[in-house]
Amino acid sequence: MARYSATVTGDRPAHAVYDYLKDFATIAEWDPGVASAVLVDGEAGEVGARYRVDTVFLGRVTSLEYVIVLEVSAPDGGRRVDLRAENADFISYDVITVRPLDSGCEVTYDADLALKGLRRPFDPVLRLLFQIIGRRAERGLAQVVNSPLVMRRAA
């Protein structure tokens, strides 16, 4: 299994950042490995919403259908959304957590990617590639949590 976890801080209000990120179609705006992401069913950012996400790596496009499977609010004002995707090659489980800070917020993005079936022996290679992909996404996430784009969406 490949895993990447990143925590970034931003100067935008936690509720605005959370509302922006839980609409998973926005991933195409900050993750350079995502060519497109669209809501295909349900209410944006709500449990049961389905998103088609097209990723590009080494010139190959892979389509995944992510479903929001959980949304939780914490007593400290933090919020979390869990997404799951599966295709013939792998299963992905992503968790986005946003916590308020005195001046802005902290965002943690955890992603687990597990190969299926005969592909499992390639997990060590996937782990290395996922670190590269994750670092690029982390840079984009850090930029967006400080971006006016979040506030335009919240308005």
Q: How many CB atoms lie within 10 A of CB 51?
A: 25
Distance CA 52, CA 132 (A): 22
Domains of the chain: 2-24+68-154 (3.30.530.20)
For 62-102, the pLDDT digits (tens) are 899 999 999 999 888 899 999 999 988 888 899 999 999 99
Least confident of 8-17, 22-31, 59-68, 126-135: 126-135
pLDDT of residue 147: 86
Residue 114: predicted pLDDT? 84
Per-residue pLDDT at 36 exceeds 60: yes
Q: Is the pLDDT of residue 133 over 90?
A: no
Alpha helices in 11-60 (DSSP H): 14-22, 27-30
Structure tokens belonging to residue 43: 């209410």
Expressed in angstroms, the distance from the first to the final Cα of the chain is: 39
| pLDDT winner (highest mean) among 38-42, 110-114, 141-145 | 38-42
Confidence of residue 17 (pLDDT cuts 50, 70, 90): very high
pLDDT recorded at residue 153: 67
**Residues 81/70, Cβ–Cβ less than 8 Å:** yes
Q: For a pLDDT cut of 70, what percent of the chain falls above it? A: 86
Greater confidence (105 vs 4) lies with 105
* pLDDT of 60: 84
Across the range 121-139, mean pLDDT stands at: 68
- pLDDT of 58 > 90? The answer is no
- One-letter amino acid at 117 equals G
Q: Which of 133, 148, 130 is nearest to 3 (CA)?
A: 130
